[in-house]
Amino acid sequence: MDPKVEQFMAMIKAKNPAQPEFHQAVHEVAESLIPFIEENPKYKHAKILERMTEPERIIIFRVPWINDKGGVEINRGFRVEMNSAIGPYKGGLRFHPTVNLGILKFLAFEQVLKNSLTTLPMGGGKGGSDFDPKGKSDNEVMRFCQSFMTELQRHIGPDTDVPAGDIGVGGREIGYMFGQYKRIRNEFTGVLTGKALEWGGSLIRPEATGYGAVYFAQEMLNTKGDSLEGKTVAVSGSGNVAQFTTQKVNELGGKVVTLSDSGGFIHDPNGIDDEKLAWVMDLKNIRRGRISEYAQKYSCEYYEGKRPWGIPCDVAFPSATENEVNKEDAEVLVKNGCKVISEGANMPSTPDAIEIYQNNKLLYGPGKAANAGGVAVSGLEMTQNSMRLPWSREEVDQRLQTIMKNIHASCVEFGTESGGYINYVNGANIGGFVKIANAMLAQGVV
Ligand code: NDP
Ligand code: 2IT
């Protein structure tokens, strides 16, 4: 390891004990940025990277609520306000039992660079709770969301901090939280994104992360004169990102053969076509069932407790959660001929999996570039809220495509190696960093 990176990481680990995901995210970025900062000493003297890894503010709070049996439940709520150099804090809320401060700091740190890459004026943040929505009634979810927002509302606002969805937070939860914010503050504003169309949402926001990850894969394939047409595709997850990734792959002539959830994965060699996808959307978004039911309905294999990476594919879209592709998975993907990885999820690949992709010269789009379409359309939702005018589907989709193309171009600009290989990790890290670093220099030591 570069001794400067090692020294920096020793400081990060000492200051942030027991936060392995945060260390992992910072380490990946430090490996790209420290050599770049050495060549650009103005960033070094102003300690930009040291400041960027220290959140501007963290809010941690109690979230008490009453379950359907009348019992009192207590969860922990968080908001990590990481960086506001280029705009209000912006980033999702995650409701999942694994949520803790280290996970949210990793997500907030990634978000800062991701949001910068979109070219829109958004700083970075992330929040959530260890609340588990699984098995809860609609009323329980509503009471939880109301209690969560009762505290969070005093810390956020349309020009301060604008949360959105992530794992376990979709349209239903955004609705309950928006209702409570409006009631307490007596303001109808664009304080959350991912709202429904009737009350300030944007067309294409639900689709945006998945669509964007597919547009990014198309851009990467384009550099080789190739496309998604006729490609066999493995997708993990079966939530928001996985669903709309599948929809766009189908539209572009690829064939998605896997989906998963925390129970296991299904393999449908005939492809998950639009009709089957509509059934999955009903299963996951309305009936809130398990992906194993797909195997019964469409008579295909279900692999309990397994991840889909052993199924031969040309293109993989990890779209469930962090560290879901490890070294062994990456080796199997490469052995089976996979050529493209476009990350819908945040940090789904472990560092040694990334090493395998890069040693084998795969087209590898890291999450902060490939999944930036979601927050990009959140940014467009904020624009429409400010204008008090909605844009058409075509207008938003066109802007999303342009943004994903520009992110790709930025990765090419900052990540192309002397042999011609595009190192999208370096490209995204440096491309995202420069704008924030220059803003921080201009704004002084704050
Ligand atoms: P959803 O809650 O809609 O879906 C999450 C999916 O991933 C579910 O299928 C879930 O299975 C599975 N999953 C979650 N945690 C685990 C786990 N620990 N192990 C195995 N499977 C798991 O979330 P999204 O689709 O919104 O988010 C998916 C990923 O995309 C996350 O990494 C998120 O941070 C990232 N992302 C999301 C964006 C958005 O706009 N929503 C934007 C950019 C990135 P189960 O139902 O069994 O829990
Ligand atoms: O990880 C992400 O980029 C998101 N969950 C979306 C954030 C947003 O503000 O739309």
What's the pTM value of the predicted model, to 2 decimals?
A: 0.98
For a pocket test of ligand 2, which of 21, 111, 156, 404 has the largest count of ligand atoms closer than 8 A to its C-beta? 111
Nearest CA to ligand 1 atom 44: 345
Does the CA dihedral 385-389-390-391 come out positive or negative?
negative
The residues carrying an active-site annotation are 126
Domains 57-188 and 208-360 share a fold: yes
Ligand 1 atom 15: the closest Cα is on which residue? 321
What residue spans define the domains of the chain? 1-54+423-446, 57-188, 208-360
For residue 151, the one-letter residue type is E
**CA-378 nearest atom, ligand 1:** 40
Q: What integer pLDDT is reported at residue 352 of this predicted model?
A: 98
The C-alpha atoms of residue 248 and residue 349 are separated, in whole angstroms, by 22
Going through 287-440 in order, the beta strands assigned E by DSSP cover 301-304, 315-317, 340-342, 363-365
Q: Ligand 1 in contact with 239 (CB < 6 A)?
A: yes
The span from the CA of 225 to the CA of 222, in Å, is 5
Q: Which of 162, 209, 347 to mutate to test the pocket of ligand 2 (most atoms within 8 A of CB)?
A: 209
How confident is the model at residue 1, as a pLDDT?
Answer: 85
Is domain 208-360 given the CATH code 3.40.50.720 in the classification?
yes
Which of ligand 2's atoms lies nearest the C-alpha of 378?
A: 10
Residue 27, burial from CB neighbour count under 10 angstroms (0-12, 13-18, 19+):
middle
CB of 168 closer than 6 A to ligand 1?
A: yes
User: 102 CB less than 6 Å from ligand 2?
Assistant: no
The pair phi, psi for residue 306, each rounded to 5°, is -115, 160
CA distances to 81, 93, 174, 297, 376 from 157, rounded to whole Å, are 12, 15, 14, 45, 18
Ligand 2 near 344 CB (within 6 A): no
Q: Which atom of ligand 1 lies closest to the CA of 96?
A: 15
**Nearest bound ligand to CA 123?**
2
Element (H, E) at 257: strand 255-261
Choose which residue among 94, 162, 166 to substitute to test ligand 2 binding: the one with the highest number of ligand atoms within 8 A of its C-beta: 166
Any atom of ligand 1 within 6 Å of the Cβ of 235: no
Residue 110 Cβ contacting ligand 2 at under 6 Å:
no
Identify the residue whose C-alpha is closest to ligand 1 atom 31.
345
Q: Provide the residue type at 39 as one letter.
A: E
Element (H, E) at 58: strand 57-66
Asked if 315 and 335 count as a contact pair (C-beta separation under 8 A), the reply is no
- Please report, as a single letter, which amino acid is at residue 292: S
How, if at all, do strands 232-235 and 161-164 pair? Answer: unpaired
What per-residue string of b and e applies to 122-133 under the rule 16 or more CB within 10 Å gives b? bbbbbbbbbbeb
C-alpha of residue 239 to centroid of ligand 1, in Å: 6
Q: C-alpha angle with apex 148: 26 to 107, nearest 5 degrees?
A: 10
Closest to 21 measured CA to CA, from 119, 104, 79, 97: 104
For residue 353, what pLDDT is reported? 98
What distances in angstroms separate CA 231 from CA 164, 254, 320, one per listed residue?
A: 32, 5, 21
CB 378 less than 6 A from any atom of ligand 2: yes
pLDDT of residue 350: 98
Q: Please give the number of the atom of ligand 1 that sits closest to the Cα of 284.
A: 46
> Residue 49's pLDDT is what?
98
Query: How is the beta sheet containing 124-129 ordered, strand by strand?
Result: 57-66, 72-83, 124-129, 89-95, 161-164
- pLDDT tens for each residue of 145-163: 999 999 999 999 999 999 9
175 CA → ligand 1 middle, Å: 19
> Could you tell me if the CB of 258 is within 6 A of ligand 1?
no
Sequential pLDDT tens for the chain (446 residues): 899 999 999 999 999 999 999 999 999 999 999 999 999 999 999 999 999 999 999 999 999 999 999 999 999 999 999 999 999 999 999 999 999 999 999 999 999 999 999 999 999 999 999 999 999 999 999 999 999 999 999 999 999 999 999 999 999 999 999 999 999 999 999 999 999 999 999 999 999 999 999 999 999 999 999 999 999 999 999 999 999 999 999 999 999 999 999 999 999 999 999 999 999 999 999 999 999 999 999 999 999 999 999 999 999 999 999 999 999 999 999 999 999 999 999 999 999 999 999 999 999 999 999 999 999 999 999 999 999 999 999 999 999 999 999 999 999 999 999 999 999 999 999 999 999 999 999 999 99
Question: 57-188, superfamily in CATH?
Answer: Leucine Dehydrogenase, chain A, domain 1 (3.40.50.10860)
**Is 55 near ligand 1, meaning CB less than 6 Å away?**
no
Torsions phi, psi for 370 (to 5 deg): -70, -35
CATH superfamily of 1-54+423-446: Glutamate Dehydrogenase, chain A, domain 3 (1.10.285.10)
- Report which bound ligand comes closest to the CA of 108: 2
pLDDT, one tens digit per residue, over 60-96 is: 999 999 999 999 999 999 999 999 999 999 999 999 9
Return the beta strands (E) in 140-254 as ranges: 161-164, 232-235
